[in-house]
């Protein structure tokens, strides 16, 4: 049977409404039948959420499965990935309404809400959203990414931002660090034993390894000046190698959190956040240009970096200064995402 599954989310804005994200639609209550509206209200009340049409959005998908359970299982990851993409929109806050939502049998019209279970032994799964077919115009970059699922670079992109988003919910600093590093490895590492530090430095306009030989061909005086600053270049490079060592210790070597007492972890987190933010934006551009594999992306990444004047200006004017501040204060001064480019 053909089943429509709807997941309800609480969002602070409507910038996503009525737009397709690959196999998922984001809609408001205006797209629902009266029966569907009642199912949504019943489900929200079941999970003790206030029914506010201004904030509650619908994630919708359609699939063909033998049972409702199978449809929900198949859609669970799809919703999670879509929410990860939506969270990348500026100043966006999205909150899951637990498992609130409903399903519709598209053959018979039967509509049923997902209710809070009273039997805790029964697993309660997240739900799914509606599939749109055809071309969409205009499209957000997240929509374009979603429409290319199954392509290596896109799958890596989605997994990477999933890890990065999860890092923000970690209360232990070392776990936040580890999740962010995994996010970087997911999108930057092609082979098991690859050294990804040159790629991290490249994202910040610092050319190491094979990229160094390309500097003389660059027309940007600021970029050339950045790479002539051996002081900062050495600091950033060495800190990233320390980050890699910490990552290995956490994963493999009987790590203890007390091992980090003497580490300037806030400096390292700032470098990781900065590199990831700059890297992921340019990777998004490369994917839009038609590159389907990670190898293809990193083969042309240099070209996108040297053409990114906003990035080059930020590195030369803000990034180095913030690194100095964090070193001088041994990571004790706070910083927020506004200090990071993009």
pLDDT tens by residue, 223-268: 888 888 888 889 999 999 999 988 888 888 666 666 666 667 788 8
Other beta carbons within 10 angstroms of residue 79's beta carbon come to: 23
Q: Are residues 127 and 179 in the same domain?
A: no
Average pLDDT for residues 101-120, to the nearest whole number? Answer: 83
CA distance 171 to 174: 9
Indicate if 142 and 164 belong to the same structural domain. no
Q: Of 146, 181, 199, which one is at a domain's C-terminal end?
A: 146
Same domain, 323 and 211: yes
> How many structural domains does the chain have?
2
Report yes or no: 132 and 20 within 8 Å, Cβ to Cβ: yes
d(CA 80, CA 128): 9
Q: Are residues 192 and 220 in the same domain?
A: yes
DSSP string for 281-298: HHHHHHHHTT--SHHHHH
57, 26 Cβ separation under 8 angstroms: yes
Average pLDDT, the chain: 80
Residue 120: the pLDDT is 37
Domain assignment of residue 205, given as a range: 152-339
State pTM to two decimals: 0.61
pLDDT for 165-188, tens place per residue? 988 888 887 888 899 999 999 999
Spatial contact of 63 and 128, defined as CB atoms under 8 Å apart: yes
- CA dihedral angle for residue 43, residue 49, residue 55, residue 59, rounded to 10 degrees: -40
Distance CA 6, CA 25 (A): 10
Confidence tier at 273 by pLDDT (50, 70, 90): very high
Q: What is the pLDDT, as a whole number, of residue 126?
A: 34
285 and 176 co-located in one domain: yes
Q: What is the pLDDT of residues 179-223, one digit of tens each?
A: 999 999 999 999 988 999 999 999 999 998 777 776 666 667 888
For the chain, the residue count is 342
In the block, residue with structure tokens 């429509």 = 4
Question: What pLDDT, on the 0 to 100 scale, is given for residue 35?
Answer: 93
Helix/strand/coil for 115: coil
Question: Do residues 146 and 78 make contact, with C-beta atoms less than 8 angstroms apart?
Answer: no
Q: Which of 72, 127, 122 is nearest to 101 (CA)?
A: 127
Q: Which residues pair with 56 in a beta bridge?
A: 10
- 50 and 86 assigned to the same domain: yes
pLDDT surpassing 70 at residue 70: yes
Both 68 and 217 in one domain: the answer is no
Percentage of the chain beyond pLDDT 90 is 31
Pairing of strands 111-114, 24-27: unpaired
Residues 6+ apart with CB under 8 A from 329: none
Predicted local confidence at residue 54, as pLDDT: 66
Confidence of residue 133 (pLDDT cuts 50, 70, 90): very low
CA distances from 273 to 151, 182, 337 (A): 25, 12, 8
Same domain assignment for residues 100 and 170: no
Last residue of a domain, one of 125, 146, 167: 146
Residue 142: pLDDT over 80: no
Q: Are 279 and 164 in contact (CB under 8 A)?
A: no
CA distances from 141 to 14, 164, 284 (A): 17, 18, 8
């Amino acid at each position: 049977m053909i089943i429509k599954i709807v997941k309800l989310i609480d969002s602070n804005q409507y910038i996503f409404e009525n737009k397709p994200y690959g196999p998922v639609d984001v809609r408001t209550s205006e797209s629902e039948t009266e029966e569907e509206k009642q199912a949504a209200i019943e489900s929200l009340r079941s999970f003790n959420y206030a029914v506010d049409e201004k904030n509650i959005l619908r994630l919708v998908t359609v699939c063909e499965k033998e049972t409702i359970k199978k449809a929900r299982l198949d859609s669970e990851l799809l919703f999670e990935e879509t929410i990860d993409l939506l969270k990348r929109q500026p100043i966006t806050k999205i909150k899951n309404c637990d498992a609130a939502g409903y399903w519709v049998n598209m053959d018979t019209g039967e509509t049923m809400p997902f209710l809070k279970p009273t039997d805790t032994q029964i697993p309660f799964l997240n739900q799914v959203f509606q599939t749109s077919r055809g071309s969409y115009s205009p499209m957000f970059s997240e929509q374009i990414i979603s429409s290319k699922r199954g392509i290596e670079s896109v799958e890596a992109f989605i997994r990477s931002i999933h890890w990065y988003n999860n890092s923000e919910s970690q209360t232990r600093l070392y776990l936040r660090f580890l999740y962010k590093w995994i996010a970087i490895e997911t999108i930057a590492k092609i082979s098991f034993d690859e050294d990804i530090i040159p790629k991290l430095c490249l994202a910040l306009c610092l050319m190491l390894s094979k990229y160094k030989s390309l500097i003389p061909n660059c027309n940007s005086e600021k970029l050339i000046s950045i790479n002539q600053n051996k002081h900062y270049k050495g600091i950033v490079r060495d800190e990233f190698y320390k980050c890699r060592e910490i990552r290995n210790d956490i994963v493999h070597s009987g790590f203890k959190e007390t091992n980090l007492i003497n580490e300037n972890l806030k400096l390292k987190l700032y470098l990781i956040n900065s590199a990831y933010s700059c890297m992921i934006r340019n990777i998004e551009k490369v994917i839009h240009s038609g590159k389907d594999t990670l190898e293809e992306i990193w083969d042309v990444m240099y070209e996108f970096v040297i053409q990114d004047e906003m990035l080059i200006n930020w590195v030369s004017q803000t990034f180095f200064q913030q690194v100095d501040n964090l070193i001088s204060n041994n990571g004790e001064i706070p910083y927020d995402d506004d200090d990071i480019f993009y």
